[in-house]
């Protein structure tokens, strides 16, 4: 069983909610990424999403755009990131998802990229700009490699398309709770309960809700209507503020633990 599937099965059996943490890879450098991954595992994070730095991160708000830029400036490439994931695997079995734009898969070659990810210890891919209708043999290659193809559903997704996405996704459904790009918000969307209920009509996969969650109170509220929550920009913002601190990993992990504890 894939690590993502195993983790969510364990959460379901124990009656607990899942916490998905997003960070930009190589921000401020790849050694920090390795340390953060291990610290997050110890803090109770269930799934780690690693953003692969890209020059045109069209789904991201300014906080994550800047993280991608810092990752590029630190020299982070897909090859170096996969080497870092291999290093993480020597100390941690935390499920890892790459949050990536399709251009990077296309450039390397779809099968080669997927196989390299599997070899390094990646568990799933969330390809931001690859809709299921245009994925060709992507899903078959992912299944053959033992990886989960994770898809997004948005508030604007028609129910007919929601059904298609839900049937083709693996691991979990990532529900984007807001229109627009990633970023911290002062309030959570008011239609999360109705939207997750609608999605559940088409799948038994766990639903992870993201976009805009930044406080323990918001985390607790959103988790009441989902199997997991995703927090990105709020964590990335902590990394930006403490990037030059020698105690970066424990400081950011302490912040993350307040959010994890809120939903556990």
Nearest to 68 by CA among 153, 128, 4: 128
Work out the angle at residue 22's Cα, subtended by the Cα atoms of residues 237 and 219, and round it to the nearest 5 degrees.
80
Name the active-site residue from 29, 46, 60, 123. Answer: 60
Rg of the chain (C-alpha set): 17
User: Is the peptide bond prior to 28 cis by the omega test (within 30 degrees of 0)?
Assistant: yes
Concerning whether 5 is annotated as a catalytic residue, the answer is no
Contact in structure between 19 and 229 (CB atoms under 8 Å): yes
Contact in structure between 70 and 27 (CB atoms under 8 Å): yes
Concerning whether 60 is annotated as a catalytic residue, the answer is yes
Return d(Cα 80, Cα 209) in angstroms, integer.
Answer: 29
Return d(Cα 65, Cα 62) in angstroms, integer.
Answer: 5
Name the active-site residue from 29, 49, 123, 227. Answer: 49
Contact in structure between 225 and 258 (CB atoms under 8 Å): no
CA dihedral (85, 205, 165, 212) positive or negative: negative
Strand pairing report for 151-153 and 173-176: parallel
Q: Residues with catalytic annotation?
A: 49, 60
């Amino acid at each position: 069983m894939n690590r993502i599937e195993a983790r969510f099965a364990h959460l379901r059996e124990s009656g607990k909610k899942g916490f998905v943490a997003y960070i930009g890879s190589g921000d401020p450098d790849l050694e920090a990424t390795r340390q953060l991954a291990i610290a997050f595992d110890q803090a109770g994070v269930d799934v780690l999403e690693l953003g692969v730095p890209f020059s045109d991160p069209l789904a991201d708000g300014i906080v994550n755009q800047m993280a991608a830029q810092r990752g590029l400036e630190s020299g982070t490439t897909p090859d170096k990131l996969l080497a870092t994931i291999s290093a993480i695997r020597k100390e941690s079995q935390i499920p890892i998802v790459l949050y990536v734009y399709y251009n990077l898969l296309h450039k390397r070659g779809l099968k080669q990229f997927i196989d390299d990810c599997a070899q390094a210890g990646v568990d799933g891919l969330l390809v931001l700009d690859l809709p299921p209708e245009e994925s060709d043999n992507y899903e078959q290659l992912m299944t053959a490699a033992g990886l989960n193809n994770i898809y997004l559903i948005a508030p604007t997704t028609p129910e007919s398309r929601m059904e298609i996405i839900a049937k083709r996704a693996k691991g979990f459904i990532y529900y984007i709770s807001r229109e627009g790009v990633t970023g911290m918000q002062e309030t959570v969307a008011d239609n999360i309960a109705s939207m997750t209920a609608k999605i559940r009509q088409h799948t038994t996969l766990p639903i992870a809700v993201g976009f805009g969650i930044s406080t323990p109170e918001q985390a607790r509220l959103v988790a009441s209507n989902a199997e997991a929550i995703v927090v990105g920009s709020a964590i990335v913002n902590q990394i930006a503020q403490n990037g030059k601190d020698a105690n970066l990993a424990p400081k950011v992990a302490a912040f993350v633990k307040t959010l994890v504890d809120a939903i556990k």
